[in-house]
Amino acid sequence: MDVTRVSENVYSIGVLNPNVRISDVIVPTECGTTYNSYLIKGEKNILIDVTHPRFFDEYIENVRSVVDPSKIDYVIMNHNEPDHSGSLEKLLEVAPQAQVLSSTAGCIYLRNILNKKDGYRAVKEGETLDIGGGKELRFMMAPFLHWPDTMFTYFAAEKMIFTCDFLGAHYCEPRMIDKYIDNLGQYEKCFKTYFSAIFGPFKPYVLKGLEKLNSVEADIVCPSHGPILTKGNQLERSKELIKEWSQPETHNKKYIPIFFCSAYGYTTHLAEKISEGIKSVIADADVEIMNVNEHPLDELAGKINNNDAFLLGSPTINKNAVPPIWNLLSTVDVINIKGRHASAFGSFGWSGEAVPMLLDQLKMMKLNVFESGYTVRFVPTKEDDQAAFDFGKRFAQQL
């Protein structure tokens, strides 16, 4: 990356990765990404966030083009996921005098990321760091944006805040500032994808993070992926968008989606009977029966996370529940839906592992699991239909 001077003392010195198409195993990066890092040059030289381990050689050249690494006084780690901390070990080899600062949780993680016990200093909410020239940096804790360790670093003298993943995007253009973005439409698309993937599970924390951000005067937001956001360009709009995307959904009626897959229609049939049972108790409930194979995953992800209770239906195939149902479960925001009422059902042939496996998983995710689900061997009989109806009824009665 060409080094970009953001302000008199601040340089953007991160690395571009235009070709990556998937990050963190599951996050789409259609437009590549960048691993941003910032250098404040002055009486004290300070690095904020480092970079992905694969790009250290390029990164250290960027650092060297602004300052001799042996002259770095502090490395501030706002968040220690390895896309930011993965190069820290190598960096410290050429900057052994640098003191590493992070949140309390961040220092704990660093011990197991660098496999080195000491050498980190934990900073607290509101703590300041004197950087000389009458200037200081202030630390603001911002847990779960994206990990429990996350904090922001505020540079009042430059009206600038460093937010790591928060307000970032997996988007790669060589000029790192929003006013130079060539394809704004594409950027906004990537900003949304990134937000859903990284912050979808942490929406209440996003709203708190925004409040925190708005409590200081910050005209320039420096995230650690994608372009820097500036007042009068993308900053206001980006803040508005994530605020809108983080509002809790409200339903007038009880919303109870039933997600299922079915090879021959037997599990489908059970879904219908269970739904009738639910409606016999809550007449105006919005019970939506959805074949998981017929809807895009992001639509289903929204629905599995925003409901009053939900059910999963799967036949047993090869001693397992079917992959689309597992896939759907992987989108659950475990923090937000702790304690939600849920259960599972399905038709099976001989061994019937699907339902108990799903229930175990739901319990592991700390949901409130109802009974031991409902199962039927092969084709449901009239009695099974009644039992499925009754299962739906009992499920609804406890809501």
| CB nearer to ligand FMN: pick between 151 and 271 | 271
Q: Which residue among 348, 389, 391, 395 contacts ligand FMN (CB under 6 A)?
A: 348
Angstrom distance (rounded) from CA 186 to CA 183? 5
Burial class (CB within 10 angstroms; exposed 0-12, middle 13-18, buried 19+) of 28: middle
Is 345 a binder of ligand FMN (CB under 6 A)? no
| CB nearer to Fe ion: pick between 191 and 255 | 191
Nearest-CA neighbor of 269 among 282, 278, 260? 260
Binding to Fe ion (CB under 5 A) within 149-168 occurs at 165
| CB nearer to Fe ion: pick between 73 and 81 | 81
Longest dimension (CA), the chain: 82
Number of Cβ atoms within 10 Å of the Cβ of 108 = 16
Is 375 a binder of ligand FMN (CB under 6 A)? no
Q: Which residue among 18, 24, 128, 378 contacts ligand FMN (CB under 6 A)?
A: 378
Piece of 54-62, 83-91, 208-216, 300-308 that binds Fe ion (CB under 5 A): 83-91
Q: Compute how many residues bind ligand FMN; rule: CB under 6 A.
A: 18
Nearest-CA neighbor of 34 among 144, 155, 176, 130? 176
Is 146 a binder of Fe ion (CB under 5 A)? yes
Angstrom distance (rounded) from CA 2 to CA 180? 14
Q: For residue 139, which amino acid is it?
A: F
Is 349 a binder of ligand FMN (CB under 6 A)? yes
Is 356 a binder of ligand FMN (CB under 6 A)? no
| CB nearer to ligand FMN: pick between 227 and 315 | 315
Is 83 a binder of Fe ion (CB under 5 A)? yes
| CB nearer to ligand FMN: pick between 263 and 364 | 263
Is 42 a binder of ligand FMN (CB under 6 A)? no
Binding to ligand FMN (CB under 6 A) within 262-321 occurs at 262-267, 315-319
Q: For residue 396, which amino acid is it?
A: A
180 binds, among ligand FMN, Fe ion, none (CB under 5 to 8 A by kind): none
Q: Which two tokens stand for residue 307?
A: 């409901």
Residue ranges of the alpha helices (H) in the chain?
56-66, 82-85, 88-94, 104-113, 184-194, 203-214, 235-245, 266-281, 297-305, 323-329, 354-364, 382-397
Is 178 a binder of Fe ion (CB under 5 A)? no
Q: Which two tokens stand for residue 16?
A: 């571009």
Binding to ligand FMN (CB under 6 A) within 154-173 occurs at none
**Long-range pairs of 237-240 with CB within 8 A, sequence gap ≥ 24:** 238/167, 238/191, 239/167, 239/210, 239/213, 239/214
* Least CB distance to ligand FMN at residue 288 (A): 18
Is 49 a binder of Fe ion (CB under 5 A)? no
**Rg of the Cα atoms in the chain:** 25
Piece of 47-55, 75-83, 122-130, 229-237 that binds Fe ion (CB under 5 A): 75-83
Is 250 a binder of ligand FMN (CB under 6 A)? no
81 binds, among Fe ion, ligand FMN, none (CB under 5 to 8 A by kind): Fe ion
Query: In the sheet where 135-141 sits, what is the strand order?
Result: 128-132, 135-141, 151-155, 160-164, 220-223, 229-230
- CA 56 to chain centroid: 25
Q: Which residue among 11, 39, 75, 81 contacts Fe ion (CB under 5 A)?
A: 81
What is the helix (H) or strand (E) element at residue 28, kind and residue range? strand 27-28
- CA 111 to chain centroid: 23
Piece of 6-14, 165-173, 330-338, 348-356 that binds ligand FMN (CB under 6 A): 348-356
* Least CB distance to ligand FMN at residue 389 (A): 17
232 binds, among ligand FMN, Fe ion, none (CB under 5 to 8 A by kind): none
Number of Cβ atoms within 10 Å of the Cβ of 143 = 16
341 binds, among ligand FMN, Fe ion, none (CB under 5 to 8 A by kind): none
Taking phi first (over 0 means left), then psi (-120 to 50 degrees means alpha), and beta for anything else, what does residue 384 get?
A: alpha
Is 269 a binder of Fe ion (CB under 5 A)? no
| CB nearer to ligand FMN: pick between 181 and 357 | 357
Site residues (vs ligand FMN, CB under 6 A): 262-267, 315-319, 347-352, 378
Q: Residues interacting with Fe ion, by CB under 5 A?
A: 81, 83, 146, 165
